[in-house]
Amino acid sequence: MVEPLKNMIVWLQSHETVLWYLAGGSTVLAIVTAMALPTLLGFIPSDYYSRAGSGRGSWADYHPVTRVLLLTGKNVFGVVLVAMGILMLVLPGQGILTILVGIMLLNFPGKRRFERWIVSRPPVLRSINWLRRRNGRPPLVE
């Protein structure tokens, strides 16, 4: 029992700098997420989740090369947020919220259904509409 604990302490001491960077990055990301979330929620059209279909995104009007670059960047950023969120489950920060924001940026089959399921939860919808109301935006329509 003593040996594994000693090994863990040695490992933590030898990786102290990396752990401080992870904790600092996690804290910064938590603050940025908390500050940006109300603004980002304000950009969602109030009828976004009540519309039928997957909704052809605004990306379709871009040149194909630009569209591929933007979608790739968005998905890479989503993966980074999911990875940071997983780290924030054990480090300081809003891990679950960061994972959800990362998932919302990713493109995958069933994403729209998954988003609608999350937003249809009464506590989530209440929180989103409260933040939208504070920013002078109309509530989301289910």
32-44 pLDDT per residue, tens: 877 887 787 888 8
Structure tokens at 2: 């003593």
- What are the φ and ψ backbone dihedral angles of 38, each rounded to 5 degrees? -60, -40
What is the spatial distance between Cα 7 and Cα 106, in angstroms, rounded to a whole number?
Answer: 38
pTM of the model: 0.60
The full length of the chain comes to 142
Tell me: the pLDDT tens digits for 10-29?
A: 888 898 898 888 888 878 87
Give the C-alpha separation, 18 to 15, whole Å: 5
The encoded tokens of residue 137 equal 């935006």
CB 138 within 8 A of CB 114: no
